[in-house]
Amino acid sequence: MKKTFDIAIIGGGVIGMSLARALAARGAELALFDASVSVPPATNAAAGMLAPSFEHGHGGDCVSEALYHFGAHSLSLWPNYAAALEEETGQFIDFRGDGALGLAYTEAHANELGEQASRVAARGGDASIISGDDARAMEPALSKEILCALWAPNDAQVDPKRLLIALRAAVEKKAVQLFPEKVARIDVEDNGPRCTTFSGEAFSARKIVVAGGAVSGLVDAGLVFPVKGDATAIEIEEGFLTRVVRAPGAYLCPKAGGRLVIGASEEYGRDGDAVDAKAIETLQANAAIAAPQLKGSKELERWTGLRPGTPDAAPILGQTDTGVYLALGHYRNGVLHAPASAQEMTALILDGEASEYLESFNPSRFGKDKALQHG
């Protein structure tokens, strides 16, 4: 078995896979370790909203200017990224660049949406308030109780499960060597870094990147921690809704094949794979307030996932003082951020170039020496 590589990536979610694809396209010889059998990727739990407008200021966090612009920049990469990935692999990923609607039923909701529109406009984004009738003209299934809506024409969506299948196919085509193994530790020695799997195999690489999501066991738990989210999918007729709808207490994301993804709860610091039945009931009830014909629809599945949270809700992209690279902590927006994260990390790893985004998201903002558990 080959045990020496140019670059080893730890983690095969959307962030690790996108980075592997980008690095392999530049000719790097790569190993990718992924423990998805024991640690399921958050990517498969995501709704796939590509939503810098709606996410800006979510829950009082995600407010930084750099984070908004990083999300908007990544969104601008998405149409070409999706088209190239589909072309390369022949896999349909259900990318839809048809905007998103946020609903208000009360004056209080309307005020919140107004503030959101102003926040986005202040950053140079496009978000406006439209009437309930205009929202229903776009999506006739929506409730007549809607007072007004926030219309974000540039927000988009993709199907994350299809995306991950396509990314995997892309990296396999590029001869990235995939190891379905969990990495137990990273050691940085004089002759370079080395990672060792739980089965005891050691691999060396000139550069190692940790992209292991919320619970890799390799990064200080105060820096990247799980934020558990439950979600569900119900059956709809194709075309019942066409675009993302963000209602009070639930978002609704129509996917190909008559599947409507409804999400999501949010519990800080919680991990585990148990789905909270009460949270699912509440999400389904809130979805049926937004689109009343959904009441009683057949549930297809329910699941939970662990978002990789960080203390300031922004990703951690860069290099620690031990030389190990981190591509972590994309929290609620890893699918949105994947193209830009891969682009920025590739420039850093292969060319030593750090853009202003990387300066904002550098691990040193938390104290470099604390970043790695092992190193």
Ligand X SMILES: Cc1cc2nc3c(=O)[nH]c(=O)nc-3n(C[C@H](O)[C@H](O)[C@H](O)COP(=O)(O)OP(=O)(O)OC[C@H]3O[C@@H](n4cnc5c(N)ncnc54)[C@H](O)[C@@H]3O)c2cc1C
Which residues sit at the interface with ligand X, rule CB under 6 A? 10-16, 33-36, 39, 41-43, 45-49, 182-183, 211-214, 216-218, 229, 231, 263-264, 305, 307-308, 330-336
**Rounded to the nearest whole angstrom, what is the least distance from the CB of residue 133 to ligand X in the complex?**
28
Closest approach, Cβ 94 to ligand X, in A, equals 13
Is the CB of 182 or the CB of 255 nearer to ligand X?
Answer: 182
Cβ 36 to ligand X, closest distance in Å? 4
Query: Between residues 110 and 223, which has the closer beta carbon with respect to ligand X?
Result: 223
Task: Specify the residue, 51 or 148, whose C-beta has the smaller distance to ligand X.
Answer: 51
Closest separation in Å from C-beta 72 to ligand X = 13
Q: Which is nearer to ligand X, 12 or 339 (CB)?
A: 12
- Please say which residue, 110 or 307, places its beta carbon nearer to ligand X: 307
Nearest distance in Å: CB 179, ligand X: 8
Can you tell me the distance from the alpha carbon of 32 to that of 54, in angstroms, rounded to the nearest whole number? 33
As a dihedral over the C-alpha atoms of residue 323, residue 325, residue 328, residue 334, rounded to 10 degrees, the angle is 160
Residue whose C-beta lies closest to ligand X: 13
Dist CA 271 CA 216 (whole Å): 12
CB of 210 to ligand X, least distance (A): 8
- Of 125 and 212, nearer to ligand X (C-beta) is 212
Instruction: Name the residue with tokens 């995600």.
Output: 62
Cα(118)–Cα(63) distance, rounded to whole angstroms? Answer: 13
